[in-house]
Amino acid sequence: MDIKNNTALVTGGASGLGKAVVKTVVKAGGNAVIMDIKDEDGEALASELGTRTVFARTDVTDEEQVQAAIDLAIKSFGGVHFCVNCAGTGLAMRTISKTGPHNLASFEWLIKLNLIGTFNTASKAAFAMTANTANENGERGVIVNVASVAAFDGQIGQAAYSASKGGVVGMTLPMARDLSSLGIRVVTIAPGLFNTPLMQMLPEEQRNALDASVPFPRRMGTPEEFAMLVEQILVNPYVNGETIRLDGALRMAPK
C-alpha cells in the first residue's frame, strides 16, 4: 500500500525502533499515531514532526486505551491503514534458581505485554481497517508485528521472553489467513541486536562484544535499518504471512 496520506498506528513509537518507524512513515507522506506510555518522549516527537503525528498515551494491554488511540487516529486522519507493534520489553530469569522456580507473576506479565498486547492492538486495528476502501490490489491494511531472534535462538534466562516472542511468530500465519479475505496483510519482523536506547545503556566493552558477535555487518543494526524493512513490507503487496529475521546472519549462542 502507498504510505502517502495513509495512517499508521505505531506502538512503542516514542523511542527506539518505533520512533524510527514513525519518522519513516511521516517522511513518506503518511500520518502516524505514536502509541506509548512515555508521555514526555511521545509529546516531544509529535511536536517535532508536526501535524502528521499525534501522541496517544497507550498501555497496549489495556483494551480501552488501545481503542481510544484508534478512535483518535480516525478522528485526526480519517482511518487506520497500518499497525506496527514495536511495544515490548525483555526479562532475564532462569527457569529455576537457587532460591526456587521462575517467578510466575513475572512470566505472566511479560506474556501479557509482548504477546497479548501485540494481539490486542493488532486485532482492534484490523477491525478498524475493514472500514477502508480496498485499493487496486484489494488491500485494506497491513499489520507488522515485532518478535525477536530469541523466538528461535533463546538464550539462558530467556524462557519467558522467548515464549512471548515465539507466540508472536506463531500467530503470524493464522492471522494472515484470518484476514486474507478482507485484504489485510500480516507480517512479523524478528530483529537481532539493534542499537536502541536500551543497548546504549550497556558499558562500551559489552556493546563492542555484541557488535563482534554479528557475522556481517559486524555491528548492531540501527533503528533506521529496521524502519527500512517496515517500509518495504508496507509497500510490497506480496509480502504476507511471513516472519523475517533481520539480524546480520546472527544466531544467538546459549549465553
Domains and CATH numbers, the chain: 7-193+222-245 (3.40.50.720)
Q: Which of 55, 161, 194, 226 is catalytic?
A: 161
State residue 200's pLDDT score: 81
Q: What is the pLDDT along the chain (255 residues), one digit of tens a residue?
A: 999 999 999 999 999 999 999 999 999 999 999 999 999 999 999 999 999 999 999 999 999 999 999 999 999 999 999 999 999 999 999 999 999 999 999 999 999 999 999 999 999 999 999 999 999 999 999 999 999 999 999 999 999 999 999 999 999 999 999 999 999 999 999 999 999 887 887 788 888 988 999 999 999 999 999 999 999 999 999 999 999 999 999 999 998
DSSP the chain: ---TT-EEEEETTTSHHHHHHHHHHHHTT-EEEEEES-HHHHHHHHHHH-TTEEEEE--TT-HHHHHHHHHHHHHHHS---EEEE---------SEETTEEPPHHHHHHHHIIIIIHHHHHHHHHHHHHTTSPP-TTS--EEEEEE--THHHHPPTT-HHHHHHHHHHHHHHHHHHHHHGGGTEEEEEEEE-SB--HHHHTS-HHHHHHHHHTSSSSSS-B-HHHHHHHHHHHHH-TT--S-EEEESTT------
Global pTM reads 0.96
Active-site residue flag, 238: no
